[in-house]
Amino acid sequence: MPAPQINDIVENFTLQNQDDKTVHLTDFKGSPVVLFFYPRADTPGCTIESCGFRDAFEKFQKAGIVVLGISRDTVKAQKKFKDKYDLPYDLLADPDMELINRYDLVKPKNMYGKLVKGVKRTTYLIGPDQRLIHIFEEVKPEGHAEEVLALLKKHK
């Protein structure tokens, strides 16, 4: 199944959040959803990006926008990350990389001069009708939440 493209209806998914509760994309029908994939909980870039969404969360909430973080970490690791940084949104665990693979996000990355496969930091903006509005592919953790917010305001 190909990764979703702009204007596609995003296929429903089911993952566990940090509290081991089942979350479906369809739970948020009628609201815009920010789906941000990050390589690993509690690593420097992922922490900057996640805390950026935390710091801007009130603005997302006021605009009725749902924020969901996803990585291949376990439910337990997501819970620890959420609690440590007081993240006010759900972190979804994809340890089997079901969604990560469906979105084709495992890419070769250069890590200290070695080529390794890792999850590419990517953010998907999904409209209230569950259509894909935008894909941020080369995400820089700093200022990313504000960048997402600015784009969503344009789509209102």
- Indicate which residues carry an active-site annotation: 46
Cβ–Cβ under 8 Å, residues 155 and 127: yes
Q: How far apart are CA 68 and CA 36, in angstroms?
A: 6
Q: Which of 138, 133, 134, 123 is nearest to 53 (CA)?
A: 123
39 φ, ψ to 5°?
A: -65, -45
